[in-house]
Chain A
Amino acid sequence: MKRILLKLAKMREISAILFLIALFLIIGIINPIFLQGQNIMLTLKGSIMYVFLAAGMTFVILTKEIDVSVGAILGISAAVAATMLRNGNNIVLILLVTLLVGAAAGFINGFGVAKLGVPSIVMTLGTMGILRGLMFIYTGGKWVENLPDYFKKASQVEFLGINVFILITLTLIIMIQLYLSRARKGRFFAAIGDNIEGARLVGVPVNRMKITAFILAGIFSALAGLVYVSQVGFVGNVAGSGAEMTAIAACVLGGVSLQGGIGSVVGAAFGAIIMSSINTGLVFLKVPAYWNNTISGTLLILIVVVDALVQRHLSEKAKKQRLMARTSFVKEDVTIEA
């Protein structure tokens, strides 16, 4: 029984991977062009932005909080980056400033949640509004266009036939995964979400780790913003709007539990790929684009509900077995006595 449970816990990511494979196969059977290397690359490239958002979100959700401002952070950091690019600033400076914008936004979120005690949903809903507004004010409501070619072309660069952005993302995800599962402090995030009092008791700096989680979410959103600028080539008013929902959905699909304490960045990354594959997949299935939200929404609900029901069934079954074991144990006892 324990082994099965242990396996199931590990399977949380595997179900996302299997689902992704099935998705690719189904779309591929209907329209084989989808499975051509070039198109798979295209799908993966389109998912990078969401992979980053979901990775940052994972830190926050592991601590049993939520961040709905990541889309807005993406937007404002993309706007900042694009404006600086247009002004011809030094690329290193641009990267630094952009990431700093993300980190600062994340710090504000973390400070409000950890120090002021504002529930994270309220806090980040508030900063979402603030950042969206600031972005409008910053850009004057205009698109940021006419960006230098070198930055747009960066998203096309290939190494060994694979897009460089994909390689960078892959490396980053592996590194984060190792940090979360191996590093001493990496385990702290999950520990906080798992049992916050227990975490305090073993000396985990709970508030500091929560702030760190939000800062990381901010930095990753800024990274996603940079990817957005490079891939799209301009920054519109609505850049990143609704992306927070895709990111949360990706985490949930990838097995990151919104109850905190369970989940991995790898799972979240696969969840993100699923979310964007659905959209590209629909194009290949020649389904009109207006079905996108309906299908993503249905899938999200379906997967989460099925997961919840399965988990509940298992835990109830385990509880019943445990209770039954207590009573059956004595049966033997009695026979021995008699």
Chain B
Amino acid sequence: MQYQSQAVAKPYFIAAIVLFVGQILFGLILGLQYVVGDFLFPEIPFNVARMVHTNLLIVWLLFGFMGAAYYMIPEESETELHSPKLALLLFWVFLAAGVLTIVGYLAVPYATLAKITGNELLPTMGREFLEQPTITKIGIVIVALGFLYNVGMTVLKGRKTTVSVVLMIGLVGLAVFFLFSFYNPENLVKDKFYWWWVVHLWVEGVWELIMASILAFVLIKITGVDREVVDKWLYVIIALALITGIIGTGHHYYYIGTPTYWLWWGSIFSALEPIPFFMMTVFAFNMVNKRRRNHPNKAATLWALGTAVMAFLGAGVWGFLHTLAPVNFYTHGSQITAAHGHMAFYGAYVMIVLTMISYAMPLMRGRAAANSNKSQVVEMWSFWLMTVSMVFITLFLTGAGILQVWLQRYSENPQPFMVVQEKIALFYWMREVAGVIFLIGLLLYIASFFVGRNEPEAVAK
């Protein structure tokens, strides 16, 4: 670790991993509720479990992004962080807000939560992924402002690199687009229109910038390839991500009451959205093939290559699968969407955070470059278990989705939703088994932090 203040990233990463475990546990509960409808009812109803599963994902990824930024920015800027104390204070504020919100979801009915948090003063609750009480949303904005001030001041006083500037653009974009969660018009079409400005422009816009910059940072460190080469790739990737992703928002505007030109704009631009992910995959493999040194942290290299591949598959291929308007007419909101969502989030954002943790954690825990071989072997096992089980989760959900579309929407005699759900239950069971294997992989990942701690550090061969 080159700068002492980079250590503030450590609690962020630890919190991210703990919340990740919570997310997966609730995922397993949800998966079981698909086939055993009254499992844990009325203690944890399906809608609550789903809300906790998705909200935990968002919160832990934000912890991961902030941790990554606190680690990267001092090193890129070649100076200490502007205020490590502020970073730690904001960590506790964000953690308290996040935990209280989740406890609120679980402890009281959602309507009661809305009432006791004063939602009627500025109604923002009740929308998918943005279910947080208004007061939590205000807390998120305050944390984001403090965070951006802290890393922004660090960038301003130090060296400016392409990596840090792209990261900052991504983080500022993240904060700015979150503000649309406060806009909650009566008109349902307008509501959905701007809701996507948060959801889509995060994951298919500014988050891609964050992902690309973290990937670039780790690849520079582990391959030793010239920064100029990486910079050129980064320019092309982020340009393509924004060109395709911004107007690609249109693929959410099909058949919801928006003008019909969105059928064309959405189809054309979102069909191009796989390109930046394709470029990221070529970029990652190209850098590793052109490496100038063998870094002893093999696990971080594996995560870096893995995130590029899985993001291309999940976001690129599975996104393209149902993005064209005539196809989406049938597939919208089916299990095909769930398949895409799972693999895309895992590939692009879960894995990039784990890439960063894999690279940075050994350094923050006193290693010169990497963990012991034993620890890395366990970590690489966790990589394969989680990644392969996510591939199977995606395949099972895709199979379920295709059958669902056929039986419920495409055939001459469409069947009711719940009848079809029973017919695809086998896929849900198989998804649940794959989910259990995913959890085992995650537990192994946590074990890798404790295994081989007293053994010597791995060396480059």
Q: Are A and B physically bound partners?
A: no
B residues contacting A by CB (< 8 A) are none
